[in-house]
């Protein structure tokens, strides 16, 4: 249909440049839609559809394998989930984890990026070293840290005991107070290199003239950092904080390998809760409800964050 | 230009068409297999409509695989799944499949190995889409959920009398649900305590030689104290490195049984009042004491016992070869502590089950082949497990009279073992009990942990309308 219309339009091309321009624009827009279609289709098939299905499933009593009829049960799964002390604890742990890890990891990444942004000999080696934990698969890293954290013969307690003459010891992952911080330390170690690289790229985009101008105006190093570097990195830092926040809410691998939520649920998180409910206990519908809640939480936090920290669009 | 656009449109159209076809093909597959109707219910439909549809389908639903007829179809092909765990076992199974294919012409078997870590997920995924293979090995206690959901078929009709009489009663018991046999294995399992006899003699304790003589839980706790005094700071290994999972359920449910409690009342099918009974609380409070006192080695390096850090290791048959190498003649195998009503051990292991859509006769040809005494002996050699035929078990050096592991066979033969609840709710029972055990190990409230677990199990059974048995 569209093509035949166009064929008819072809002989009338001479009717003025304005008309031609409009036609070109329309054609370009149509090409844009066509080019984005494959991507949109994939998004539709693998993101939107599953999510809508999760919303649908969460309103039923569907089980992983069951000969019983699947029934519509309304919001029961949501009520059961939101009143479940175990889920509430998991949610609280996620929030604590995010509140601590996002500022800490972003700050540390900034510090490291500034550190490795100097032109020294062998600086590339340092960049590689700080980046290397990112390359390690999380489950492998978690297994290694599990050994490091071992209270009886772990390296960490060994070193602590050596430097403190046996007074400083921790049960780490088995201690109710230290378990979540232990996971945080490990996660920051693993993730900080990635943020560092992004911030480093941002740093190298800052025009040298700004620093020169600052130096001429008599700004100290700290002032140059606070009034040139940080404002110039605004967009980068917002991006890094947002991504870290989403990753923090998605926390799962390290917990799965290292603690499975122990001790006493102190390291339980929403993703772990979802896997336990959905696959161990086969309550797929309730796991879907957790997934939807998880999505809404992350969406809300992201929107709030973007509202509070508006990106400069220059 | 227009040609190019036409091409793009064509490609997109084809893509959309393919998607639609795929969706339709799935629906067709479901229609072909009436017993799977419920696994693929379209949630966008009106709920009431769903109910009516499902009800209309009900008569078909119960027509699951019917077991053996005695006629092996010529040219049948069967798919076999085995969990890729211990290497020696995998090699043995691979050999069995090869030899089976060479030994007869009627049935062709192909083997798929699935990594053990993903095995449960692979099984539930396959079951959810109605694609369980013809022959599948699974931890027997999980078979009942699939039996209930209609993904397996009973195999009573396949087992010849000669074999039935020879099988360990325990292996049959662990494979039986709703009075039908669903899973049968080449070997059974055993739990006990491995100990360094020379250390036990040092602290002057009587070493039990039979299940009757098992230490009471109090005696055992005192012994742990004595061992600490003898210089072993953390004298007990319970394989903490295995972590939370079915192993917790396998190792610690025997404590409940020994105390006269259980994870589920087998007749009433409720957990409340059994799992959180005073007996259960007492038993697991003693157990918690071992952790509170710091008697338990965390075994992160999986070498607590072989390196001599702990003189006692509580674990199953599979560690024997490893431990024997390390301790030689000092190694003794003892029954688990008695929490009041005599020692108890777990039973059942990885067992064969037959998929609902399989030709049972063809599937059984292969299973029967692996249950031949010769194959069974080889498998026992590879896995270290107790052969599931009494005649084979008694004939082996380890498990026979006077053998190092005689205890494991005696426990199974003389009723010192209990099957894990043969109930379709078992995945939830195990998961809830697991979490309770972890809470107790971490020093949480024993009463509260067991109350929570019992409530979760009962809620699951209720949510599944009491798991009405298959007809």
Percent of chain B exceeding pLDDT 90 equals 68
Q: What are residue B312's phi and psi, to 5 degrees?
A: -130, 135
CB contact under 8 A, B19 and A262: no
Percent of chain A with pLDDT over 70: 94
Instruction: Using the predicted structure, report yes or no on whether residue B22 has a pLDDT greater than 80.
Output: no
- How far does the CA of residue A80 sit from the closest CA of chain B (Å)? 11
Examine the domain organization and report whether B242 and B129 are in the same domain.
no
* pLDDT computed for residue B65 by the predictor: 65
Q: How confident is the model at residue B171 (pLDDT cuts 50, 70, 90)?
A: very high
**Of the ranges A74-78, B26-30, B191-195, B246-250, which one carries the lowest mean pLDDT score?**
B26-30
**Read out DSSP for B165-234?**
HHB-HHHHHHTEETTEE-EE-SEE--EEEEEEHHHHHHTT-PPP-SGGGPPBHHHHHHHHHHHHHTT-SS
Q: What pLDDT score was predicted for residue B214?
A: 96
Q: Which residues in chain B are contacts of A53 at CB distance < 8 A?
A: 43
Q: How far apart are CA B469 and CA B336, in angstroms?
A: 34
Q: Which backbone phi and psi does A119 adopt, to 5 degrees?
A: -95, 85
A29 is written with which tokens? 């827009």
In this prediction, residue A164 carries a pLDDT of 83
**Contact at CB, B128 and A7, closer than 8 angstroms:** no
Q: CA A69: distance to chain centroid? A: 38
How sure is the predictor about B33, in pLDDT bands with cuts at 50, 70 and 90? very low
Q: Looking at the predicted structure, is the pLDDT value of residue B34 above 90?
A: no
pTM, two decimals, is 0.79
pLDDT surpassing 80 at residue B1: no
At residue A127, φ and ψ (nearest 5 deg) are: -55, -45
Q: What is the pLDDT of residue A282?
A: 84
Q: CA-to-CA distance for B206 and B99, rounded, in angstroms? A: 48
Report the distance separating Cα B471 and Cα B462, nearest Å: 20
Q: Which positions in chain B touch A263 (Cβ < 8 Å)?
A: 438, 442-444
What's the residue count for chain A? 314
Q: Which among B2, B47, B465 has the least Cβ separation from residue A72?
A: B47
| Predicted-complex ipTM score | 0.72
Helix H or strand E segment including B82: strand B76-84
Radius of gyration of chain B (CA): 25
pLDDT (tens digit, 9 = 90+) per residue, A168-227?
A: 788 888 888 899 999 999 999 999 999 999 999 999 999 999 999 999 999 898 999 999
Do B103 and B169 belong to one domain?
yes
In the numeric block, the tokens 């003189």 are attached to B311
Residues B455 and B275: beta-carbon distance below 8 Å? no
> If you average pLDDT over residues B161-188, what whole number do you get?
93
Does the pLDDT at position B42 exceed 70? no
Among the three residues B413, B438, B454, which one is the final residue of a domain in this structure? B413
Q: What is the mean pLDDT of residues A17-35?
A: 88
CB of B169 within 8 A of CB of B387? no
Query: CA B339: distance to chain centroid?
Result: 24
Q: What is the three-class DSSP state of B378?
A: helix
User: pLDDT (tens digit, 9 = 90+) per residue, B453-463?
Assistant: 999 999 999 98
- Selected for mutation to probe chain A from B235, B248, B442, B444 (highest A CB count within 10 Å) is B442
Partners of A61 on chain B (C-beta within 8 Å) are 463
For residue B44, list chain A residues with Cβ-Cβ distance below 8 A. 56
Q: Is residue B333 part of a domain?
A: yes
* Nearest CA among A272, A266, A265, A97 for reference residue A191: A97
What residue numbers bound the domain in which B265 lies? 191-345+425-463
Is pLDDT above 50 for B420?
Answer: yes
Q: According to the model, what pLDDT value does residue B26 have? A: 42
What is the predicted pLDDT for the residue at B4?
60
CB-based contact B428 A282, cutoff 8 Å: yes
| DSSP classification of residue B470 | P
CATH of domain A76-308: 1.10.3720.10
Taking the CA of residue A220 and the nearest CA in chain B, the distance in Å comes to 51
What DSSP string runs through B107-167? EEEEEEEEEGGGHHHHHHHHHHTT---SEEEEEHHHHHHHHHTTSEE--GGGS-HHHHHHB
pLDDT at B464 (0 to 100): 87
Q: Which of A259-263, B215-219, B300-304: highest mean pLDDT?
A: B215-219
Indicate left, alpha or beta for B150 from its phi (over 0: left) and psi (-120 to 50: alpha).
Answer: left
- DSSP letter at B330 equals G
| Cβ–Cβ gap B121/A279 under 8 Å | yes
Domain match, B322 and B358 both? no
Closest partner residue to A153 (CB to CB) among B149, B301, B427 is B301
pLDDT at A311: 66
- List of chain A residues whose C-beta atoms are within 8 Å of the C-beta of residue B150: 67
- Kindly state the tokens that stand for B220: 């055992």
Residues of chain A contacting residue B465, judged by C-beta atoms under 8 Å apart: 68
Are the Cβ atoms of A69 and B146 closer than 8 angstroms? no
Confidence of residue B17 (pLDDT cuts 50, 70, 90): low
**Would B65 be classed as within a structural domain?**
no
Whichever domain contains B150, its CATH number is 3.40.190.10
Nearest CA in chain A to B151: A65
Cβ–Cβ gap A38/B460 under 8 Å: no
Q: What share of chain A is helix, strand, coil (3-state, %, to 5)?
A: 75, 0, 25
Query: What is the rounded average pLDDT of the residues B328-355?
Result: 95
Check residue B37 and report its DSSP letter.
Answer: G
Q: Is residue B59 predicted with pLDDT exceeding 60?
A: no
Between B291 and A14, the higher pLDDT residue: B291
Contact flag B6-A282 (C-beta cutoff 8 Å): no
CB contact under 8 A, A64 and B50: no
Asked if B230 and B331 sit in the same domain, the reply is yes
Residues B444 and B329 both lie in one domain? yes
Nearest to B424 by CA among A64, A58, A72: A64
In total, the C-beta contacts within 8 angstroms joining chain A to chain B are 126
**A219/chain B closest Cα distance in angstroms:** 54
Yes or no, beta carbons of A263 and B300 under 8 Å apart: no
For residue A301, give how far its alpha carbon lies from the nearest alpha carbon of chain B (Å): 29
For an interface test with B, give the residue of A8, A70, A255 to mutate (most B CBs within 10 A): A70
pLDDT at A85 over 80: yes
Taking CB atoms and an 8 Å limit, are B39 and A262 in contact across chains?
Answer: no
Enclosing H/E stretch for B351: strand B350-355
Q: If we measure between CA atoms, which residue out of B87, B137, B168 comes closest to residue B408? A: B168
> Residue range B101-113: average pLDDT?
95
Q: Which residues of A are less than 8 Å from B438 in CB distance?
A: 260-263
Selecting from B298, B443, B464 the residue whose C-beta is nearest the C-beta of A66 gives B464
What number is the average pLDDT over the span B435-464? Answer: 93
Select from A7, A10, A65, A87 the residue whose CB has the most chain B CBs within 10 Å, as the one to mutate to test that interface.
A65
For B287, the token pair is 């157990």
- Residues of chain A positioned with their CB less than 8 A from the CB of B443: 263-264
The model's confidence at residue B30, banded by pLDDT at 50, 70 and 90, is very low
Q: Are A69 and B54 in contact (CB < 8 Å)?
A: yes
Whether B237 and B290 share a structural domain: yes
Q: What integer pLDDT is reported at residue B13 of this predicted model?
A: 57
State yes or no: pLDDT of B83 exceeds 60: yes
Total structural domains within chain B: 2
Higher pLDDT, B62 or B154: B154
CB A231 within 8 Å of CB A55 = no
What is the number of H-type helices and E-type strands within chain B? 18, 15
pLDDT for position B12: 56
A26-40, A158-172, B56-70: least confidently modelled range: B56-70
Nearest-CA distance B161 → chain A (Å): 32
- CB-CB neighbors (< 8 A) of B61 in chain A: 67
Predicted confidence at residue B25, as pLDDT, reads 44
Pairwise CB contact (< 8 Å): B300 & A65: no
Q: B14 vs chain A: nearest CA distance in angstroms?
A: 12
pLDDT of B227: 96
Q: How confident is the model at residue A63 (pLDDT cuts 50, 70, 90)?
A: confident
Q: Can you tell me the distance from the alpha carbon of B386 to that of B364, in angstroms, rounded to the nearest whole number?
A: 21
* Least CB–CB distance from A264: residue in B301, B439, B463: B439
- The DSSP annotation for A125-163 comes to HHHHHHHHHHHS-HHHHHHHHHHHH-TTT-HHHHHHHHH
Closest partner residue to B128 (CB to CB) among A53, A64, A265 is A64
Clarify whether residues B224 and B324 are in a common domain. yes
Q: How far is A150 from chain B (nearest CA, A)?
A: 7
- Compute the nearest-CA separation of B284 from chain A (Å): 16
pLDDT at B159: 94
Q: Which residues of B touch A2 (CB under 8 A)?
A: 5
- Predicted pLDDT at A261: 87
* pLDDT single digits (tens) A258-274: 988 888 889 999 999 99
* Residue B447: band (very low, low, confident or very high) from pLDDT cuts 50, 70, 90: very high
What is the mean predicted confidence (pLDDT) over B173-187?
Answer: 92
A72 DSSP assignment: B
Q: Report which of B245, B251, B192 is spatially closest to residue B85, judged by C-alpha positions.
A: B245
Q: Is A234 left (phi over 0), alpha (psi -120 to 50) or beta?
A: alpha
Q: What is the dihedral of CA B439, B442, B446, B452, to 10 degrees?
A: -10
* Residue B129: inside a domain: yes
Q: Identify whether residues B352 and B336 lie together within a single domain.
A: no
Do B98 and B228 lie in one domain? The reply is: no
- Res B182: pLDDT: 94
CB contacts, 8 Å: A173 with chain B: none
Mean pLDDT of B114-134: 86
When the pLDDT of each residue in chain A is averaged and rounded to a whole number, the result is 88
B63, two tokens: 């027509």
CA A54 to CA A116: how far, in whole Å? 44
Q: Please indicate, yes or no, if residue B68 is contained in any of the structural domains.
A: no
- Give the nearest partner residue to B427 out of A60, A62, A282, using CB atoms: A282
Per-residue confidence (pLDDT) for residue B10, from 0 to 100: 57
Give the three-class secondary structure for B312: strand
Using a CB-CB cut-off of 8 Å, the residues of chain A touching B16 are: 41
Q: A219-233, A275-289, B37-51 — which is least confidently predicted?
A: B37-51
**E strand or H helix at A274, and its extent?**
helix A270-275
Q: Are residues B434 and B373 in the same domain?
A: no
Q: Do A282 and B12 touch (CB under 8 A)?
A: no
**What distance lies between CA B87 and its chain's CA centroid?**
18
Q: What is the mean pLDDT of chain B?
A: 86
**CA–CA dist B77, A260 (Å, integer):** 41
Q: Which tokens is B140 given?
A: 């027997």
Question: Residue B241: pLDDT band by 50, 70, 90 thresholds?
Answer: confident
Residues 6+ apart with CB under 8 A from A7: B2
Hey, what are A124's tokens?
């590339």
Domain ranges of chain A: 2-45, 76-308
Tell me which residue in A70, A154, A262 faces B442 most closely, judged by beta carbons: A262
Q: Do B43 and A59 touch (CB under 8 A)?
A: yes
Compute φ and ψ for B424, nearest 5 degrees: -60, -20
Hey, what are B267's tokens?
A: 């007749």
Same domain? For B325 and B355 the reply is no
Same domain, B252 and B108: no
Please give the pLDDT value at position B116: 84
Tell me which residue in B145, B300, B470 faces A65 most closely, judged by beta carbons.
B145
């Amino acid at each position: 249909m569209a093509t035949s219309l166009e064929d008819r339009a072809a002989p009338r091309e001479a009717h003025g440049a304005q008309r031609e321009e409009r036609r070109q624009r329309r054609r370009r827009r149509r090409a844009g839609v066509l080019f984005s279609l494959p991507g949109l289709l994939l998004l539709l098939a693998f993101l939107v559809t599953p999510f809508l299905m999760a919303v649908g499933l969460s309103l039923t009593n569907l089980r992983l394998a069951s000969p019983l009829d699947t029934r519509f049960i309304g919001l029961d799964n949501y009520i059961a989930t939101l009143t479940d002390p175990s889920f509430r604890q998991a949610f609280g742990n996620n929030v604590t984890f995010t509140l601590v890890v996002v500022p800490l990891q972003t700050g540390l990444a900034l510090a490291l990026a500034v550190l490795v942004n100097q032109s020294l000999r062998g600086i590339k080696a340092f960049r590689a070293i700080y980046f290397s934990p990112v390359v390690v698969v999380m489950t492998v890293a978690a297994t290694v840290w599990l050994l490091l954290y071992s209270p009886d013969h772990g390296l960490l307690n060994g070193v602590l005991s050596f430097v403190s003459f046996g007074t400083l010891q921790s049960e780490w992952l088995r201690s109710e107070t230290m378990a979540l911080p232990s996971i945080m330390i490990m996660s920051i170690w693993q993730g900080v290199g990635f943020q560092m690289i992004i911030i480093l790229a941002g740093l190298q985009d800052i025009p040298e003239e700004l620093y020169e101008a600052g130096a001429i105006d008599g700004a100290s190093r700290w002032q140059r950092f606070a009034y040139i570097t940080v404002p110039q990195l605004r967009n980068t830092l917002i991006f890094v904080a947002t991504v870290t926040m989403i990753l923090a809410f998605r926390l799962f691998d390290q917990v799965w390998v290292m603690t499975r939520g122990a001790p006493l649920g102190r390291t339980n998180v929403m993703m772990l809760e979802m896997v336990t409910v959905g696959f161990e206990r086969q309550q797929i519908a309730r796991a879907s409800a957790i997934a939807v809640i998880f999505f809404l939480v992350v969406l809300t936090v992201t929107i709030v964050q973007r509202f509070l920290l508006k990106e400069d669009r220059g | 230009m227009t040609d190019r656009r036409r091409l793009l449109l064509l490609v997109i159209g084809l893509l959309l068409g393919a998607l639609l076809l795929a969706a339709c093909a799935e629906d067709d597959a479901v229609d072909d297999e009436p017993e799977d109707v419920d696994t693929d219910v379209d949630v966008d439909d009106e709920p009431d409509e769903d109910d009516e549809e499902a009800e209309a389908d009900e008569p078909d639903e119960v027509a699951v695989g019917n077991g053996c007829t005695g006629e092996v179809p010529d040219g049948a092909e069967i798919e076999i799944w085995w969990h890729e765990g211990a290497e020696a076992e995998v090699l043995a199974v691979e050999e069995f499949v090869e030899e089976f294919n060479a030994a007869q012409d009627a049935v062709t078997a192909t083997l798929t190995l699935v990594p053990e870590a993903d095995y449960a997920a692979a099984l539930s995924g396959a079951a959810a889409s109605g694609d369980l293979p013809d022959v599948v090995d699974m931890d027997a206690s999980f078979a009942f959920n699939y039996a209930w959901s209609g993904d397996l078929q009973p195999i009573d009709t396949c087992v010849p009398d000669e074999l039935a009489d020879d099988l360990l009663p325990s292996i049959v018991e662990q494979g039986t649900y709703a009075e039908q046999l669903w899973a049968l294995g080449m070997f059974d399992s055993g739990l006990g305590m491995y100990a360094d006899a020379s250390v036990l003699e040092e602290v002057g304790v009587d070493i039990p030689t039979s299940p009757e003589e098992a230490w009471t839980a109090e005696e055992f706790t005192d012994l742990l104290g004595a061992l600490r005094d003898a210089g072993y700071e953390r004298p007990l290994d319970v394989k903490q490195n295995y972590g939370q999972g079915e192993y917790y359920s396998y190792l610690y449910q025997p404590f409940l049984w020994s105390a006269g409690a259980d994870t589920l009342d087998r007749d009433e099918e409720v957990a409340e009042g059994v799992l959180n009974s005073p007996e259960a609380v007492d038993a697991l409070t003693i157990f918690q004491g071992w952790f509170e006192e710091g008697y338990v080695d965390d075994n992160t390096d999986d070498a607590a016992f072989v390196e001599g850090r702990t003189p006692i290791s509580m674990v199953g048959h599979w560690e024997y070869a490893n431990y024997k190498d390390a301790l030689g003649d000092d190694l003794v195998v003892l029954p688990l502590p008695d929490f009041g009503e005599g020692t108890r051990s777990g039973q059942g292991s990885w067992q064969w089950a037959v998929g609902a859509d399989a030709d049972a006769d063809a599937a059984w040809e292969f299973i029967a082949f692996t249950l031949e005494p010769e194959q069974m002996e080889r498998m026992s050699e590879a896995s270290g497990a107790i052969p599931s035929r009494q005649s084979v078990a008694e004939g082996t050096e380890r498990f026979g009279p006077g053998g190092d592991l005689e205890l494991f066979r005696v426990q199974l033969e003389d009723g010192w073992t209990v099957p894990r609840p043969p109930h379709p709710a078992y995945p939830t029972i195990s998961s809830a009990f697991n979490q309770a055990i972890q809470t107790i190990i971490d020093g949480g409230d024993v009463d509260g942990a067991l109350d929570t677990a019992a409530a979760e199990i009962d809620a699951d059974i209720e949510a599944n309308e009491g798991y009405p048995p298959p007809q």
